[in-house]
Structure 1
Amino acid sequence: MDGVRLADRIAYGGGMAARKAGVICDAFRPRDGACPVVAVNRTVRLAVLSVPVSGSARGPAPFGVPYRQLVLDQAYVLPGDYVVGPLGTLLVATNEPPAPVLGVQCNETVSVWRPAGPVLAGVNPYGAILSGGARAILAGFPAALLPGGVSDRSRTGLPDDTKLPGYVGAVAAVAGLAPQVADIVRDARGRQFVVDAVIAYGGIWRLALTESVM
């Protein structure tokens, strides 16, 4: 048996196990910058079993750790797909047969905006970004957003100032719509973040963010 057939048999076995012990979910694949979790983007309905990354079901997953091992027929999902159902919304982070699928639980819905540049020409090449003319890159995307990365001092720099919180986010990648440094991220709770770094991992973007605190 070669590697391709072995991976296929493992995927099939995962689907059988999920149908016995899992729940029915829908898989969605983003097509553009609009909300991906809509009927037109649904690729398949399938059974999914979610367990801690360790693979053991003897105990609960650690608190605050969003990563899950997904047992399913992994031939039907790709990195960057969303799996939605009774488990909540999970972003498929990796799918590398014969290894299991790694999913990330989404806890926010975010939009990514590209600020406009200065509109007035001048001798000095420096110019601040303009949030008023920002255009949407991604809108209504489920994302995993967790504290982490590098925090920063507030701009006033007073001794008793609290630091600006740093976050790490993961969101599905869409061809031709790559986030960039200095883009603005807004979540459903009205918080705003500035993108400090962008790294592509397969079908997802990993974002380093700093919260913008008024």
Structure 2
Amino acid sequence: MNSVQEKLYKGYAKAALKLGQQYDLYRPTAADYPVAPAQLVATVMASFNPQDMKYGSAGDYAKPGWYCLTDGRLTKVGDYLVNGAEVYFIAAQQLALPIDAVRCNRVATVTRPKQQSGAGAQGYGGSVVADEVALMTQWPCSILQGTKGEKTEANLPADIRSPWWAILLPAWPGVVLRSTDVITDDLGRRYTVSSAELTDRGWRLTAMQAQT
């Protein structure tokens, strides 16, 4: 870390002492349970603003991106900051720029349906929950409603559209998400991933809520 960056993070740390609250800092060490007690590495002061360093505006319920004021010398991309029900993950720490964080409103488990193999007559080929393989378990993330819905195949007059969702999730080394993966959140809702884009801020997913 260069001297300019270190001075910037020292300034963030001083501001957090005046503006912030205490947050538990978790650092995932596996693809399962990233905010388990064993992942706790420190307690830090932090303050969050809706990408407005002047603190002149309130957060927008449709925008999960926040700026984080904390001692960036202690945090890394992918870390979680937790204060009760308030949970954020660090999305980016770029040179001379604010620390980007994502506010989490759900906890998600990502699984992959079992792939059928063989030829000829086969048994049931649909997705069976018991056969799904867990990829990432119990990760806090952002799941917000998307901009559209999908008509059902029957398209009956009383049918409602199946909602689409925008999901932001930290990346984990060795885990590559793809279309048809399944996400289950802490409310029991299931989503089928339509597109998965790995960015320098983690995974950006679009998913359709599965009908039950």
Normalising by structure 1, what TM-score? 0.88
Separation of aligned partners in 2, 1:23 and 1:157: 50
Separation of aligned partners in 2, 1:44 and 1:202: 25
Separation of aligned partners in 2, 1:86 and 1:189: 18
**Correspondence for 2:161 among 144, 163, 171:** 163
Residue identity matched to 2:66: R
Aligned length: 210
Partner of 2:70: 72
- Secondary structure at 1:50's aligned position in 2? strand
Gaps of at least 5 residues in structure 1 are: none
| Shift, 1:203, TM fit | 5.0
**Correspondence for 2:19 among 17, 21, 30:** 21
Distance 1:176-1:85 versus aligned 2 partners, 3 A rule: same
Percent of residue pairs identical: 22
- Secondary structure at 1:68's aligned position in 2? strand
Residue identity matched to 1:107: N
Normalising by structure 2, what TM-score? 0.89
Distance 1:63-1:183 versus aligned 2 partners, 3 A rule: closer
User: Once the two structures are superposed, what CA deviation does each residue of 1:95-127 show, in whole Å capped at 9, x if it has no partner?
Assistant: 113111111110001101110022553289xx6
CA RMSD of aligned residues (A): 2.2
Partner of 1:147: 145
After alignment, is 15-24 or 104-113 more displaced? Answer: 15-24
Distance 1:61-1:150 versus aligned 2 partners, 3 A rule: closer
Residue identity matched to 1:158: L
User: Once the two structures are superposed, what CA deviation does each residue of 1:116-169 show, in whole Å capped at 9, x if it has no partner?
Assistant: 022553289xx6444441111111110100011553222323344221100011
Distance 1:173-1:166 versus aligned 2 partners, 3 A rule: same
After alignment, is 15-24 or 114-123 more displaced? Answer: 114-123
Partner of 2:48: 50
After alignment, is 23-32 or 55-64 more displaced? Answer: 55-64
| Shift, 1:66, TM fit | 2.4
Separation of aligned partners in 2, 1:204 and 1:141: 13
**Correspondence for 1:194 among 192, 195, 210:** 192
- Secondary structure at 1:116's aligned position in 2? coil
Separation of aligned partners in 1, 2:177 and 2:61: 29
Partner of 2:97: 99
Partner of 1:90: 88
Gaps of at least 5 residues in structure 2 are: none
After alignment, is 146-155 or 184-193 more displaced? Answer: 146-155
Separation of aligned partners in 2, 1:205 and 1:164: 22
Separation of aligned partners in 1, 2:194 and 2:148: 9
Contact 1:192 1:212 in 2 (8 A): yes
Contact 1:148 1:167 in 2 (8 A): yes
Residue identity matched to 1:186: T
